[in-house]
Structures are given as C-alpha cells and as structure tokens.
C-alpha cells in the first residue's frame, strides 16, 4: 500500500495533536510530510524531531529562524519555510496528498483554498475558513476536484449518516439536527454573564479544545458557525438546519430523512473519531477512542437552546438570509470579540453585542463577494470597525 502523505496545518493545536495521535497508530498507512505552527517553537521542534517531516512551516520569520537553528543543532534534515505564503504553498505541494486544516480562524482560509484548488484530500477542522469563504470555498473544492471531509464532530456525524454519492443528498434530507453541549454556562443565570472570566469560559464540560473555540462554545457562537458550515457542506437551506442542546455529547448530530427516518451517529466525545474517519474514508481505522458503553451512559437528554442565554446562535440564520458575505462579517466580528475577551478588553456579554453591531453596520458589496481577496478585504474592514467599537467600550 502506498502511504498517504499528510500535511498538518496547526499541528501544535488541540486538533493537530489529536491528528498526530491517530497518525502514530497507523505508520503503515500515513507519512507526515509537513507540520506547521504559529508561535510555539518548542512544541513544533519536538514534533519535528519525532516525525522528521520534510517541511515545517512557521509564518513568522523570527520564530521560523529559531526553529531552523534548533533543528540544525539537533541534526535534523527538516526544511523550515516562513512567510505568509508558505502555508498555502505547502498545502498545495505536489508531494502532499492529504491536508489537515486545523488552523484557527480566517487565517486558515488561504491555505485551505490552496489545498482545495490543488485537489487534495482536505480534512476541514477550521470551520472559520468555510464560514468566511462560503460559496467561493465550495467552488474551489469542486474546481480543484478535492475530497472535502468534515472534521467538526457534528458535521462528521452528518457525513457518516449520508451515502457516499453526494448527488443523492438533496432529495434525501428533510432537515438536520446539530447537537450542542450547551457549554459551561448552560444553566448559569444569564444575569451573571457579564462577570465571566476567560478561564471560566474555557472550562468546557465535555471537550478539551483551543481557547477560541472554547469561548465560542460558551457563547454558542460555535454552534452558529456550525450552522453556517453545515449550510455549505451539505448544500442546505437555512431552515433545514436545527439545533438541539444535548448535554451528554453522545449523539453527535442527526439527519432527518424525507420519510422521517432519523439517522444519528453516536460515540464517546473524542475528536480522534472524526479525524480517523477523515483520514481513512471510506474505510475505517482504529482511532484510540474508548468504547461507548450504553449501559453505564447517563440518560440522553435534549432541550431547546435558550435565546436569552445564547442570543448569538440566531445570528447564524440572520447572516445566512442576509446578502452573501454577511457570514464573513459575523465571523470577523466574532474573532475580534473573542480575542478582546480573552485579553481582558471586552466583557463576556459584549461579545454578542459586538457581533450584532457589526452584522448590522456593514453591508457586503458585490465586489466583496466576487473573490476570496474581496472577502478578505471585507474581513479586514470588519476587524477595524470591531476594534474601534471595543476601544469605545473600554
Ligand atoms: P488551537 O488554538 O488549539 O490550535 C490552533 C493551531 O493553529 C495551532 O497549531 C496554532 O499554532 C495555529 N495557528 C493559530 N493561529 C494561526 C495563524 N494566524 N496562522 C497559522 N497558524 C495559526 O485550536 P483547535 O482547538 O485545535 O482548533 C483548530 C480549528 O479546529 C478551529 O477552527 C476550531 O474551530 C476547529 N475545531 C476544533 C475542535 C476541537 O476539539 N479542538 C473541534 C471542532 C472544530
Ligand atoms: Mg463541533
């Protein structure tokens, strides 16, 4: 069997580390050819020494030169690339078959698009990329002949409930139900949300994740982004996407078919399951996840998401019904809001206020949505407005 040559973008993050864990279980199937990280030189160095990839990418020149120097001292032959364009270059490299897109935020859009255009097997964890790129992202996948495999657990669940032939999906699906854990504040008094600290927001009950997605889970903006992600991945109308809170995170999402048959995917909450499926599709490989024991599992419960506690959730449908490009606006506002919250510059309850403000204040133009560069320029405009608003509130 020829080994799949894998590039992991964001290899030092939560998804990146889980991906390497799955890859380590199957050395006969996979070879790591490239790793990348933003700033953690020590972690990337250790990964390079273990995996000996051909390439390591750090967009920042200073971090890259530190890594280069330390790899040289250790006698490693890994070549270090730097600069903003290096991520896209490596994602489209002819010696790469599979790209795990696990960068956080819109920063991952350009490399994900590059992988799509180059026809790679594209494992998409980076949901912000598809939220920003929308139709243009899907177009790049189609044009490049890429195989797009969802890694977000909900979307992997939906994907696992559907047949391989995508052309049958439209006629088959009545609607989908994305499940949400409800995060750490599912039953906290909404009046106290102004006092939430970053560490409280990042203490997720069921999943250990990066800080940005953890805050998104606490506001339920994560689910809002996932609604938008599902719209593009499965070509659904906004009203075909529903959200239910399911605190145990055992059912990862459901497809309700035209005949009202409901298909669900279950398992212990472990990201290695969707990662393993993305790597091995249409086959199955071991993932390292523990077995789901239904006899010792607490009962599975469901509730409606409370619109007072989680006002951000509904911005997804609002943005999807607004002119195209509005989901780019929502994402950019939210990235600024979360960053400001994590750095103590914005109150937790103002994350939603900022998102709603930007969505209302900036209307995307035809030029914005004509190209990826247009969307990125729109993203930059929103960030400017959002930063000014954050400053006005402090
Ligand atoms: P993380 O913060 O743990 O890791 C992010 C990775 O991206 C790191 O390796 C970091 O070095 C790199 N990175 C950050 N900013 C960058 C930039 N500007 N340019 C290049 N590289 C950059 O995040 P995570 O939790 O692993 O999440 C990654 C993506 O996967 C996010 O889009 C998230 O929404 C999605 N996701 C994560 C989980 C999860 O369980 N963690 C589940 C579903 C989806
Ligand atoms: Mg998810």
* Nearest ligand (C-alpha, residue 123): 1
CA distance 234 to 170: 8
Tokens 């139900």 correspond to what residue?
A: 177
More confident residue, 390 or 204: 390
With beta carbons less than 8 A apart as the criterion, state whether 297 and 267 touch: no
CA–centroid distance, 203 to ligand 2, in Å, is 16
What is the ipTM, given to two decimal places? 0.99
With beta carbons less than 8 A apart as the criterion, state whether 209 and 215 touch: no
Give 83-141 pLDDT, tens digit per residue.
889 999 999 999 999 999 999 999 999 999 999 999 999 999 999 999 999 999 999 99
CA distance 56 to 28: 22
> Whose C-alpha lies nearest to ligand 1, atom 9?
10
Asked whether the predicted pLDDT for residue 154 surpasses 90, the reply is yes
Q: Of ligand 1's atoms, which has the minimum distance to the CA of residue 12?
A: 9
Q: Report the 10 Å Cβ neighbour count for 301.
A: 9
Q: Is 375 exposed, middle or buried (0-12, 13-18, 19+ CB in 10 A)?
A: buried
- Interhelix angle for 326-342 vs 221-233, to 10°? 150
Q: Which of 144, 140, 108 is nearest to 127 (CA)?
A: 108
3-state secondary structure of 385: helix
Q: Report the 10 Å Cβ neighbour count for 261.
A: 10
Q: Report the 10 Å Cβ neighbour count for 380.
A: 11
With beta carbons less than 8 A apart as the criterion, state whether 180 and 155 touch: no
Q: Which residues line ligand 1 (CB under 6 A)?
A: 10-16, 37-38, 59, 102-104, 107, 125-128, 152, 207, 209-210, 212-213, 271
CA–centroid distance, 12 to ligand 1, in Å, is 8
H or E stretch covering 70: helix 61-73
Token digits for 328?
């780019």
Give 186-198 pLDDT, tens digit per residue.
999 999 999 999 9
CA–centroid distance, 123 to ligand 1, in Å, is 13
> Could you give the angle at the alpha carbon of 71 between the alpha carbons of 67 and 77, nearest 5°?
125
pLDDT above 90: percentage of residues in the chain: 96
Ligand 1 pocket test, candidate residues 46, 137, 210, most atoms within 8 A of CB: 210
Q: Report the 10 Å Cβ neighbour count for 39.
A: 12
Expressed in percent and rounded to 5, the helix, strand and coil fractions of the chain are 50, 15, 35
3-state secondary structure of 381: helix
More confident residue, 394 or 132: 132
Q: Of ligand 1's atoms, which has the minimum distance to the CA of residue 216?
A: 34
Give the residues across from 5 on adjacent strands. Answer: 31
My answer on whether omega of the bond before 344 falls inside 30° of 0, hence cis, is no
Quick one: pLDDT band at residue 150, thresholds 50, 70, 90? very high
Give 346-357 pLDDT, tens digit per residue.
999 999 999 999
| Strands 262-266 vs 251-257: parallel, antiparallel or unpaired | antiparallel
Q: Of ligand 1's atoms, which has the minimum distance to the CA of residue 209?
A: 41
CA–centroid distance, 102 to ligand 1, in Å, is 5
The DSSP result for 120-141, as a single string, is -EEEE--HHHHHHHHHHHHHHH
Asked whether the predicted pLDDT for residue 394 surpasses 90, the reply is no
Give 242-271 pLDDT, tens digit per residue.
999 999 999 999 999 999 999 999 999 999
Which residues fall within 8 angstroms of residue 303, CB to CB, at 6 or more apart?
182, 244, 245, 247
| Strands 55-58 vs 79-82: parallel, antiparallel or unpaired | parallel
Give 166-179 pLDDT, tens digit per residue.
999 999 999 999 99
- Using alpha carbons, list the distances in angstroms from residue 15 to 11, 208, 297: 7, 10, 25
CA distance 372 to 270: 33
Q: Is 167 exposed, middle or buried (0-12, 13-18, 19+ CB in 10 A)?
A: exposed
CA–centroid distance, 366 to ligand 1, in Å, is 30
Give the residues across from 290 on adjacent strands. Answer: none
Q: Which of 254, 187, 181, 188 is nearest to 223 (CA)?
A: 181
Q: What pTM was computed for the model? A: 0.98
Quick one: pLDDT band at residue 206, thresholds 50, 70, 90? confident
């Amino acid at each position: 069997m020829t080994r799949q040559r894998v590039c992991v973008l964001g290899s030092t993050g939560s998804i990146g580390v889980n991906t390497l864990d799955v890859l380590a279980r199957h050395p006969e199937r996979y070879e790591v050819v490239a790793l990348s990280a933003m700033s953690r030189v020590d972690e990337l160095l250790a990964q390079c020494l273990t995996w000996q990839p051909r390439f390591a990418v750090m967009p920042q020149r200073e971090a890259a030169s530190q890594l280069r120097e330390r790899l040289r001292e250790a006698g490693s032959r890994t070549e270090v690339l730097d600069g903003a364009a290096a991520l896209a270059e490596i994602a489209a490299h002819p010696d790469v078959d599979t790209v795990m897109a696990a960068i956080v935020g819109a920063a991952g859009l350009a490399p994900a698009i590059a992988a799509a255009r180059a026809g790679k097997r594209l494992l998409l964890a980076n949901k912000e990329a598809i939220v920003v790129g929308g139709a243009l992202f899907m177009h790049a996948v189609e044009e490049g002949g890429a195989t797009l495999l969802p890694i977000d657990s909900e979307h992997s669940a939906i994907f696992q409930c559907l047949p391989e032939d995508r052309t049958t999906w439209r006629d088959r699906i009545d609607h989908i139900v994305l499940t949400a854990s409800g995060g750490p504040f599912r039953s906290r008094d909404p009046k106290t949300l102004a006092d939430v600290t970053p560490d409280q927001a990042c203490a997720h009950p069921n999943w250990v994740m990066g800080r940005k997605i953890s805050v998104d889970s606490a506001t339920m903006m994560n689910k809002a982004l996932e609604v938008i992600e599902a719209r593009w991945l499965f070509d659904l109308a906004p009203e075909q996407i529903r959200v239910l809170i399911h605190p145990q995170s055992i059912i990862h999402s459901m497809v309700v078919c035209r005949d009202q048959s409901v298909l669900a995917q279950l398992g212990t909450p472990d990201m290695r399951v969707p990662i393993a499926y993305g790597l091995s599709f249409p086959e199955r490989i071991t993932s390292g996840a523990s077995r789901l024991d239904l006899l010792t599992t607490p009962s599975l419960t469901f509730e409606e998401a409370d619109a007072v506690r989680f006002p951000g959730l509904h911005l997804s449908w609002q943005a999807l019904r607004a002119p195209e490009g509005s989901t780019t606006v929502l994402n950019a506002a939210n990235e600024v809001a979360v960053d400001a919250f994590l750095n103590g510059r914005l109150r937790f309850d103002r994350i939603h206020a900022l998102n709603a403000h930007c969505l209302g204040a900036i209307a995307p133009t035809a030029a914005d949505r004509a190209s990826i560069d247009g969307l990125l320029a729109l993203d930059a405009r929103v960030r400017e407005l959002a930063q000014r608003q954050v400053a006005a509130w402090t």
